[in-house]
Every structure is written in structure tokens, then in C-alpha cells.
Amino acid sequence: MTASDQAVVTLPTDTQILITREFDAPRHLVYRAWTTPELIRRWWSGDRGEVVSAEVDLRVGGSWRYVMTANAGFEVAFHGEFQEIVPDERIVSTEVFEAVPDAVAVSTLTLTALGGRTRLELLVQHTSLQHRDMHVNSGMEAGLQEALAKLEGVAQSQA
Amino acid sequence: MARAATTADAFNAVAEPRRRQILDLLAAGELPVNDLVRTLGVAQPLVSKHLRVLRAVGLVHVRDEGRQRMYRLNGEPLKPIYDWVKAYERSWTERFERLDAVLAQLKEQEQGDDGNDG
């Protein structure tokens, strides 16, 4: 795995999160994996749980919604509305974490072709620093869940 | 993670863009305050105000060299911020690793459909 295959998260301004990553696949396949419900279900929850539902109405004004069951047993859901779509290149949509419904972010996905590879940039624009920070906190809590799960596993194996 | 209500922690200190700019300048090495004022293009009292906040949270240290005040970066208070962002970054790393597997399969299927290589 080369350095550019690493996900890199930066905070360009007080209200933004920028995620960048390169993929060893052509742009149209990254776009397809990002927008096809059956494919979304296979990667979107990472190691944190299972995607139980992914709905995508891929058109301007259409909406999307993902529901996942976190490993700790509770459900989390996200939804949004598409604002701009350039197939294989760009998707702009709103994004709402349903547990915090007033934190409406605008998310811009940009795919750049680099030969047979693709550079992905996901810029999440929040309306306030507090909302942006809560969003980044979701990584912290999830990490804590993982750590607790591992501790539980170790404890059980020693019982 | 709750933010302190005062400017008593590094998170609040770096939330201000101008202070981040100062830290970026100091990242290259120690600088006299006059250099900071000149580079930032901002009035000295304002620069001094920001430097006071950064000193209060330990992000910069100061020493006097002759008549100049020299400021340097102390990165240690930045570590919690770094860790905080890194935790979030890990969640994306996990997702993208799974996405890699999906993409590998899609590529194989596409090559199969073509009937040729690539």
C-alpha cells in the first residue's frame, strides 16, 4: 500500500473536514461503488457494524439514506438530498446524522482520474465549528467502542 | 470531547485561523515578533493578543534576544488534537479498505465482461 492509499483527514477551516484517498481502480467503478446500494452495503460501515439498509435515488433533488447497526448493537442512520451530480466526477449532497438532525452538512465528493487510478476527495462543510467537531468526535467514540470490544474479547478468552 | 469554555486548551486556541497561521509560520523555526507582524500583515497589538493565547496553552514559548522577543512552537499540546483527528481518520481507513475489496471485484468482473485483459 503506497502512501497515497492512506486515508488522510485534514481540517482545512473551522467548519470543514477533508478526506482524501487514492484508489487502484478507474473512476467509473469508484463512482459505481459509491452510488449503488448493494455495493454501498459492502463497505460503508467499515469495521463498525453492518449496513442494514441503503437507499439511493441518484438524481438532483433525490434523496439517500443509510442505516447501519453498530457493533455495540444500536442503529445509526444518515440521510441527505442530492444537489449536484456529474456522473463519475462529482456528487454534492446534504448529509444529516439522524441523531443530530440540526447539523446539516454539505458533502462534496470529487473523483479525479489518474491513469487507471482514482483520487477521491470528500469535503464535508458544516455550518458551525461545534457541528464539525461533533462529526470528528464520531471517530473517537467508535474507536472507544472497538477498544471496549477488544477488551471484552480478551476478558472472555481468559475466563 | 467537550471543549473548555475558556481559551484554556489547545483546541480553542487553534480554532482561530489567525492563530493557526502563526503556528504554521513558527513550524519552520523560531521567529522574532516583528517578522510575524510583517508576514501576517496585521497590527502588532492583534498579533500580541494571539501570541498571548498561544502562550497560555503552551503552544508557543518566548525568549528575549537583546531587544527582540523570539517565539517558537511547542508541539506537545497539539497531540490531543492530532489523536482526535486520527481516530476519525481510522474510521475512513476501514471503510476504504472494504471499498478496495469491492473495487477489486468490480475490476475483475469488468475484465471478464470485456473478454480481453484490461
Contacts of B83 (CB under 8 A, 6+ apart): none
Nearby residues of A6 by Cβ (< 8 Å), 6 or more positions away: A21, B93
Q: Could you tell me the three cell numbers for B104? A: 477489486
Query: What is the Cα–Cα distance from B81 to B3, expressed in whole angstroms?
Result: 11
Which of B90, B105, B113, B117 has the highest number of chain A CBs within 10 A, making it the mutation to test binding with A?
B90
What does the pLDDT read at residue B4?
43
At A142 the pLDDT is 59
- Put simply, the answer to whether B87 touches A129 (Cβ < 8 Å) is no
The long-range contacts involving A7-13, CB below 8 angstroms and separated by at least 24 positions, are: A7/B89, A7/B92, A7/B93, A7/B96, A8/B89, A9/B85, A9/B86, A9/B88, A9/B89, A9/B92, A10/B85, A11/A132, A11/A136, A11/B85, A12/A123, A13/B17
What is the rounded CA–CA span in Å between residue B83 and residue A3?
19
Beta carbons of B8 and B56 less than 8 angstroms apart: yes
pTM of the predicted structure, to 2 decimals: 0.75
Where b means 16+ CB within 10 Å and e means fewer, B73-97 reads: beeebbeebeebbebbbbbbbbbbe
**Run of H or E including A68:** strand A63-70
Q: What is the mean pLDDT of chain A?
A: 89
A17 close contact with B: CB closer than 8 A: yes
Per-residue pLDDT tens for B56-80?
999 999 999 999 999 999 988 888 8
Q: How do residues A17-30 score in pLDDT, each as one tens digit?
A: 999 999 999 999 99
Neighbours of A135 (CB within 10 A): 18
Q: For chain A, first and last CA: distance in Å?
A: 38
Q: How far is B29 from chain A (nearest CA, A)?
A: 22
Contacts of A139 in chain B (CB under 8 A): 84-85, 87-91
Under 8 Å between Cβ of B44 and B58: no
Is B37 strand, coil or helix? Answer: helix
* Cα distance between residue A34 and residue A91, in whole Å: 10
Question: What digits encode the pLDDT tens for the residues A105-114?
Answer: 999 999 999 9
Question: Chain B contact for A147, CB < 8 A?
Answer: no
Interface test with A, best of B21, B83, B84, B99 (most A CBs within 10 A): B99
* Opening angle at CA A19, ends A21 and A65, nearest 5: 105
Per-residue model confidence as pLDDT tens digits over A54-106: 999 999 999 999 999 987 788 889 999 999 999 999 999 999 999 888 899 99
What are the pLDDT digits (tens) for B3-33?
443 445 787 788 788 898 899 899 889 999 9
Beta strands in B1-118 (DSSP E): 31-32, 60-65, 68-73
d(C-alpha A134, C-alpha A32), whole Å = 29
